[in-house]
Amino acid sequence: MASTLVAPARSKRLEDPLEYLPCSRTAAYKKSEIIYTHGEATKNLYLILAGKVKITRQAEDGTQSLVDIYHTDEFFGEAALLRPATRSEEAQTVEQTRLMMWTSEEVEDAVSKRPPLAVALLQVFSQRLSDFTSRIQSLSADGTDARLARSLVHFAGRFGTVEDDGGVRMMPFTHELLAQYVGTSREIITLYMNQFRRQGYVQYSRKSMLLYRDALREWLQRN
Amino acid sequence: MASTLVAPARSKRLEDPLEYLPCSRTAAYKKSEIIYTHGEATKNLYLILAGKVKITRQAEDGTQSLVDIYHTDEFFGEAALLRPATRSEEAQTVEQTRLMMWTSEEVEDAVSKRPPLAVALLQVFSQRLSDFTSRIQSLSADGTDARLARSLVHFAGRFGTVEDDGGVRMMPFTHELLAQYVGTSREIITLYMNQFRRQGYVQYSRKSMLLYRDALREWLQRN
């Protein structure tokens, strides 16, 4: 058995990497522009100053999987810290986007000069590992309808704004994009989205999506 | 468009966190002992000095998912760096195991004193994010037989030793454990393992498993 006792959760706040990162080069991208693609050697860690970026993987047969969509104040491209740093993913803007970027050498230099930055980045990566683990669990254990429900709850938490009636308003994800995230076909997504709409969990149009998140969470607990 | 060009992959080696981490408390565990479990508040980052540890998640209905199995010189429990640091996973030894552990405060202190440790840990976490992303891709896009084949190739790369005939010898994973990793039932694993055995990709007994990894990789590319 371990010789140390488990300590209670700390109330100390997480470190914010943005407080410690030096300013660096920026770049502006239009909607749907590719930032980097599969197989490229690259060396930049990116921070989103404004906009949204989707990260996808592609199987040999061309099947696209959506890793996630990142937005303002979030990082992507952390594989730049590895050697060799080859991209096994593609980064593409979802809307007009402005990025700041650091080479891995610049990150290493900044980390050496400002140790709290190291702690902050380790926390960002730990949180993402935890999120990916939840996703692996859902993909392993849930049926397609529950995976879709969890994905909608996930996106609502990241991109939504709560309205007066408790619904969460967010951008209108295409069924194609949801299919790439959930790991199924567009047809199956359409089937379950229609079901969720009939049951009152979601309303959507071409302009936006309104999700009744608490009700959908209850549905997840019952199923 | 970005204003900087993409640089070629570097040949510089990855940093090794073990070169920079100060010695700390150790603990010995018997086979199948639980190190921490779901819902516990905790504050240790662990390093495996010898042995193997499996990390699992449990759904509300009791379904277990295997996150991964870690072995000598690998870290687990990185969620200790988050605040609040609550475990959403369980860590249990697979065999007799010896661990070294640091509280998150000790990690932060060590990172401040030895910046290369920060870079090394960031690289360890980046590599794991990349591995988890591959897993998410496989769970999203592959059929069950391909997920099982990729899982066997993954475990062979981590735990196997190559024999004269090119086969990779490794520990005999139970069908239950493979099912928790692949995200299916034990019965389905048994079905596909029998199929892989008949096709000559794998031999197994109670004592060990022999995987013809290159042949299975070719099968994966064809399917």
Nearest CA among B194, B212, B70, B109 for reference residue B152: B212
Are B81 and B186 in the same domain?
A: no
Is residue A130 a part of any domain in this protein?
A: yes
Are B128 and B160 in the same domain?
A: no
What pLDDT, on the 0 to 100 scale, is given for residue A12?
55
Q: Rounded to a whole number, what is the distance in Å from the CA of B54 to chain A's nearest CA?
A: 14
Are B124 and B153 in the same domain?
A: no
Q: Rounded to a whole number, what is the distance in Å from the CA of A30 to chain B's nearest CA?
A: 8
Among A88, A110, A136, the domain boundary falls at A136
Among A76, A105, A136, the domain boundary falls at A136
Kindly report the backbone phi and psi dihedral angles of residue A14, in degrees, each rounded to the nearest multiple of 5, phi listed first: -70, 150
Give percent of chain A with pLDDT exceeding 70.
94
Are B119 and B208 in the same domain?
A: no
What pLDDT, on the 0 to 100 scale, is given for residue A1?
38
Is residue B10 a part of any domain in this protein?
A: no
Is residue B11 a part of any domain in this protein?
A: no
Among A136, A164, A180, the domain boundary falls at A136
Burial of residue A87 (number of CB atoms within 10 Å: 0-12, 13-18, 19+): buried
Are B40 and B108 in the same domain?
A: yes
| Higher-pLDDT residue of B189, A1 | B189
Q: Are B21 and B31 in contact (CB under 8 A)?
A: no
Are B22 and B132 in the same domain?
A: yes
Rounded Cα distance between A108 and A112, Å, is 6
Q: Please give the average per-residue pLDDT across A159-173, as a whole number.
A: 93
Which pLDDT band holds residue A2 (cuts at 50, 70, 90)? very low
What pLDDT, on the 0 to 100 scale, is given for residue B43?
82
Is residue B12 a part of any domain in this protein?
A: no
Q: Which pLDDT tens digit goes with each residue over A30-48?
A: 999 999 998 888 789 999 9
Are A38 and A113 in the same domain?
A: yes
Is residue A11 a part of any domain in this protein?
A: no
Which pLDDT band holds residue B54 (cuts at 50, 70, 90)? very high
Q: Between A60, A129, A137, which is nearest B65 by CB?
A: A137
What pLDDT, on the 0 to 100 scale, is given for residue A60?
78
Give the CATH number, domain containing residue B168. Answer: 1.10.10.10
User: In sequence order, which ranges of chain A are alpha helices (DSSP H)?
Assistant: 104-113, 115-141, 144-159, 175-182, 186-198, 213-222
Rounded Cα distance between B181 and B175, Å, is 10
Say yes or no for a CB contact (<8 Å) between A84 and B11.
yes
Task: Give the CA dihedral B121, B124, B130, B133, nearest 10 degrees.
Answer: -80
Q: Between the ranges B54-68, B106-120, B150-164, where is the mean pLDDT highest?
A: B150-164
Is residue B177 a part of any domain in this protein?
A: yes
Chain centre distance of CA B184: 18
Q: Which of A108, A137, A178 to mutate to test the interface with B (most CBs of B within 10 A)?
A: A137
Is residue B5 a part of any domain in this protein?
A: no
Is residue A199 a part of any domain in this protein?
A: yes
What pLDDT, on the 0 to 100 scale, is given for residue A37?
92
Q: Please give the average per-residue pLDDT across B120-149, as a whole number.
A: 93
Amino acid at A163: E
Over 50: is that where the pLDDT of B5 sits? no
Q: Which pLDDT tens digit goes with each residue over B184-199?
A: 999 999 999 999 999 9
Say yes or no for a CB contact (<8 Å) between B139 and A84.
no
Task: Give the CA dihedral B74, B78, B80, B84, nearest 10 degrees.
Answer: -170
Are B102 and B161 in the same domain?
A: no
Residue A35: both structure tokens together: 């930032």
Are B59 and B151 in the same domain?
A: no
Q: How many distinct structural domains can be found in chain B? A: 2
Quote ipTM for the complex. Answer: 0.87
Chain centre distance of CA B220: 21
Are B148 and B132 in the same domain?
A: no
Structural domain boundaries, residue B118: 17-136
Give the CATH number, domain containing residue B91. Answer: 2.60.120.10
Q: Which of B67, B68, B70, B81 to mutate to test the interface with A (most CBs of A within 10 A)?
A: B81
Are A113 and A199 in the same domain?
A: no
Are B21 and B129 in the same domain?
A: yes
Give me the total of CB pairs closer than 8 Å, taking one residue from chain A and one from chain B: 220
Over 90: is that where the pLDDT of B62 sits? no
What pLDDT, on the 0 to 100 scale, is given for residue A13?
65
Query: What pairs with residue A29 in β-bridges?
Result: A97
